[in-house]
Amino acid sequence: MGNSVWKQYLWKAAFQLTKMQNQRSCLLILILLSVTLGFILHSQMSQNFLEDEYFVDAVKCPACYGTSACQRFRRKEYQLHSYSQFRMFDLVNTKNVHHGAHMEVQSVVFKKLASDEELRQFDDDICIQANQRRGCDVSVAIFKSDLVDIIYSHMLEHNHVSDMSDLVRCPSQRLLDRIYDMYKERQSDGFLSRHNKIQLITTIAINPEPLVLQIFPQSDGWPFPRYLGACGRFIVEEKIDTPLYKFLEASWATRLSIALQVLQIAEKFTDNDLGYALYPTDITLENLAVTDKEEVMFIDAENILVVDREQIRKDAAEGWDIKTEAIPDGCPAEQYCLAFSPQDLCTRYFTDHNYYAFIHGLFGKQNSNYPYGLLHSIPHDVPDGEKLQRLLEECINPSKPLGRFDAFPQLLKLVEKLNRYYQGGRGNQRKEFK
Between CA 230 and CA 264 the distance in angstroms is: 30
Mean pLDDT of 7-34: 56
User: What pLDDT is stored for residue 18 in this prediction?
Assistant: 56
- State yes or no: pLDDT of 2 exceeds 70: no
- 238 beta partners: 108
- For residue 236, the surrounding DSSP H or E stretch is strand 234-238
- Residue 388's Cβ-count burial label (10 Å; 0-12, 13-18, 19+) is buried
Contact 161, 153 (CB under 8 A): no
Burial 373-382 (b: 16+ CB within 10 A, else e): bbbeebeeeb
Nearest C-alpha neighbor of 284 from the set 369, 223, 205? 369
Cis bond upstream, residue 62 (ω within 30): yes
Q: What is the mean pLDDT of the chain?
A: 88
User: What pLDDT is stored for residue 212 in this prediction?
Assistant: 98
Contact 48, 80 (CB under 8 A): yes
Which pTM value belongs to this model? 0.87
Point out the least confidently predicted range of 34-48, 149-163, 362-376: 34-48
Point out the least confidently predicted range of 64-68, 368-372, 392-396: 368-372
Instruction: Kindly indicate the confidence band of residue 285, based on its pLDDT and cuts at 50, 70 and 90.
Output: very high
Amino acid making up residue 231 = C
The per-residue pLDDT for range 187-201, each reduced to its tens digit, is 988 899 999 999 999
Instruction: Kindly indicate the confidence band of residue 23, based on its pLDDT and cuts at 50, 70 and 90.
Output: low
Amino acid making up residue 374 = L
Between CA 413 and CA 408 the distance in angstroms is: 9
Between CA 112 and CA 99 the distance in angstroms is: 12
Contact 285, 362 (CB under 8 A): yes
Q: What are phi and psi of 185, to 5 degrees?
A: -85, 75
Instruction: Assign 140 to helix, strand or coil.
Output: helix
Instruction: Kindly indicate the confidence band of residue 337, based on its pLDDT and cuts at 50, 70 and 90.
Output: confident
Between CA 363 and CA 371 the distance in angstroms is: 10
- Residue 24's Cβ-count burial label (10 Å; 0-12, 13-18, 19+) is exposed
Tally of helices (H runs) and strands (E runs) in the chain: 15, 10
User: What pLDDT is stored for residue 374 in this prediction?
Assistant: 94
Instruction: Kindly indicate the confidence band of residue 228, based on its pLDDT and cuts at 50, 70 and 90.
Output: very high
- State yes or no: pLDDT of 85 exceeds 70: yes
Instruction: Kindly indicate the confidence band of residue 250, based on its pLDDT and cuts at 50, 70 and 90.
Output: very high
Instruction: Kindly indicate the confidence band of residue 434, based on its pLDDT and cuts at 50, 70 and 90.
Output: low
- State yes or no: pLDDT of 81 exceeds 60: yes
Contacts of 115 (CB under 8 A, 6+ apart): 94, 95, 96
Contact 323, 350 (CB under 8 A): yes
Point out the least confidently predicted range of 38-52, 262-276, 279-293: 38-52
Instruction: Kindly indicate the confidence band of residue 1, based on its pLDDT and cuts at 50, 70 and 90.
Output: very low
Mean pLDDT of 214-224: 98
User: What pLDDT is stored for residue 43 in this prediction?
Assistant: 46
Q: Where are the beta strands (DSSP E) in 260-349?
A: 276-280, 288-290, 296-298, 304-308
Instruction: Kindly indicate the confidence band of residue 165, based on its pLDDT and cuts at 50, 70 and 90.
Output: very high
More confident residue, 80 or 85: 80
The per-residue pLDDT for range 109-136, each reduced to its tens digit, is 999 999 999 999 999 999 999 999 999 9
Point out the least confidently predicted range of 78-82, 156-160, 327-331: 327-331
- State yes or no: pLDDT of 41 exceeds 60: no
In this structure, how many other beta carbons lie within 10 angstroms of the beta carbon of residue 309?
Answer: 20
Mean pLDDT of 237-266: 96
Sign, Cα dihedral of 409, 411, 414, 416: negative
Q: What is the full DSSP assignment across 342-403?
A: HHHHHH-S-B-HHHHHHHHHHHS--BTTB-S-TT-S--TTSTTHHHHHHHHHHHHS-SSTTH
User: What pLDDT is stored for residue 5 in this prediction?
Assistant: 54
- 290 beta partners: 242, 296
Residue 229 — left, alpha, or beta (φ > 0 → left; ψ -120 to 50 → alpha)?
Answer: left
Mean pLDDT of 270-291: 95
In this structure, how many other beta carbons lie within 10 angstroms of the beta carbon of residue 429?
Answer: 17
